[in-house]
Structure 1
């Protein structure tokens, strides 16, 4: 199965605040907040939702095609991605802007406050899926991840026009999108990904009920943090898969992207939804235990062991081919 992952490609600037954001917020002063957090560390890492998902898929042996816009400063990052199984032939290089920047501060409760500089990502709207180095007809799935909003809409429309299956992952961009835009991005998606907060925001933006969303998508996957993931499809009972327990929390950045890579990596090999969610949780656990979105290693043997330990030996057996030497 060949997957194209469209969306943001960025450099992450990650800092840690040793206190709690909530302790710094005064309820009756929230209409004019002016805060500065003295942080203890700074890590500069490779990131961007599309690149993070592609990194995970590449580690699972799926050779994803990355589609996005970057600056001339992307050269070293590109080498890294290629070394980790990612095809960068769909990446547009800007002549004027630098690669996007994600600037995030995490407190001791793993709450985050972040800013995102668009940079070259603004040019992603110029990318035409019909002009990719891989014929669109040869793609089994296009992931529409957070990106320039116009690019997200264009790529979704092209998927519909070309009859190509797509996964909708609006996540962070829900705050920038209005109701009609969200409805357009979601309708007809084979897979819809959100976290709990984004799920509530999606319902508010669209004006749809949960049942109405499920009538318009194939399967809706909602990540639940340390409670795992909820998988829903119309006409089927909801499925909740618990997270891998006992994982040391190093950095939550990119954990959801790792889950998506694991989930999509499993369904690409025609594995069941419960097996896909388990692999997603296992890969998310590896990302959670490291600082940065692409510093974890996709160790297939270790992933198999993690699934076996977390969910039982029998639950891990369907992944033997996916995570074995022939994967």
Structure 2
């Protein structure tokens, strides 16, 4: 068994809708102050999601040992059963009586732009979920969750000496510049997509390259253009992996984090870990939903070898 990874964040049900048009054709910039738009979505699916659930799912595909840390509602019985069937521990998933599991409504247009609404539900109690001091974890991930919960989990890992990846993601509206700076001081790694990186720069008043100087690594994902790795005083462009199809971006960032942290648990360097992360993102985007792709470990290994000339550990 590989070393455990604490995966802190949301577990949610995703309602994913496809708008067969372009948001930009219906949102008038000059009327943005009185915005009132409606999108017909003939395709709608309900999926298992949430950042902790998604990262744990992808980490398990790689042969990792995820320990999701999340708070769910009384309606999560099916989700918990699914995790158990996948061989993923639910020991640190707390069921909060009288609440619903977090719910996310995601509408995607034909340009892969997304409009998301989120109801936190039980996630609002995440700060009360103490994963304890004896998990055996060698790495952690602090992904979008209730703001207080994100800080509590980060402080606990920092106190226990467990290095962790900070993923701001959909929690971005909750974090002011001072909040981001506080989290950066606790974390070893910062991950963000290119838009989130711009927001981080704007809110902190610092360039991402300057932030990278105070951390072990910063990784900025750029969709089909790959990723930018900043570590050890170097900036490296990590080329993308050609996806078999571009179907649904939901959960791609979480798949990327799983590949990154799996590489780190194997003692890989930053570049090879980022390469594996790119592979996982490319696999995910070819499937609808955040947890419906089912590559074998051998298939992941084959794509990693074909793309970068490296392979998964035996």
| TM-score, normalised by the number of residues in structure 2 | 0.95
- Relative to structure 1, is the Cα distance of residues 281 and 310 closer, same or farther in structure 2, using a 3 angstrom cutoff? same
Question: How many residue pairs are counted as aligned between the two chains?
Answer: 312
- Once the two structures are TM-superposed, the CA of residue 7 in structure 1 deviates from its matched residue by 0.4
Q: Quick check: 1:69–1:94 contact (8 Å CA) kept in 2? A: yes
Aligned to 1:114: 116
Q: Quick check: 1:189–1:217 contact (8 Å CA) kept in 2? A: yes
1:206 aligns with 2:204: yes
The equivalent position to 2:167 in structure 1, one of 161, 166, 169, is: 169
Q: Quick check: 1:56–1:298 contact (8 Å CA) kept in 2? A: no
Q: Quick check: 2:243–2:282 contact (8 Å CA) kept in 1? A: no
Aligned to 1:278: 275
Q: Report runs of 4+ in structure 1 exceeding 4 Å deviation.
A: none
Structure 1: runs of 5+ lacking an equivalent: none
- Relative to structure 1, is the Cα distance of residues 193 and 280 closer, same or farther in structure 2, using a 3 angstrom cutoff? same
CA distance in 1, matches of 2:64, 2:300: 16
Aligned to 2:262: 265
Structure 2: runs of 5+ lacking an equivalent: none
CA distance in 2, matches of 1:157, 1:139: 15
Q: Any idea what the Cα deviations from partners look like across 1:185-206, whole Å, max 9, x if unmatched?
A: 1114222111001111111222
Q: Quick check: 1:251–1:291 contact (8 Å CA) kept in 2? A: yes
CA distance in 2, matches of 1:164, 1:252: 30
CA RMSD, 1 decimal? 1.4
Equivalent runs, 1:44-123 vs 2, <5 Å:
44-123=46-125
The equivalent position to 2:187 in structure 1, one of 186, 189, 198, is: 189
CA distance in 1, matches of 2:6, 2:198: 27
Aligned to 1:14: 16
Q: Quick check: 2:49–2:291 contact (8 Å CA) kept in 1? A: yes
CA distance in 1, matches of 2:161, 2:303: 37
| TM-score, normalised by the number of residues in structure 1 | 0.92
The equivalent position to 2:248 in structure 1, one of 246, 251, 261, is: 251
Aligned to 1:240: 237
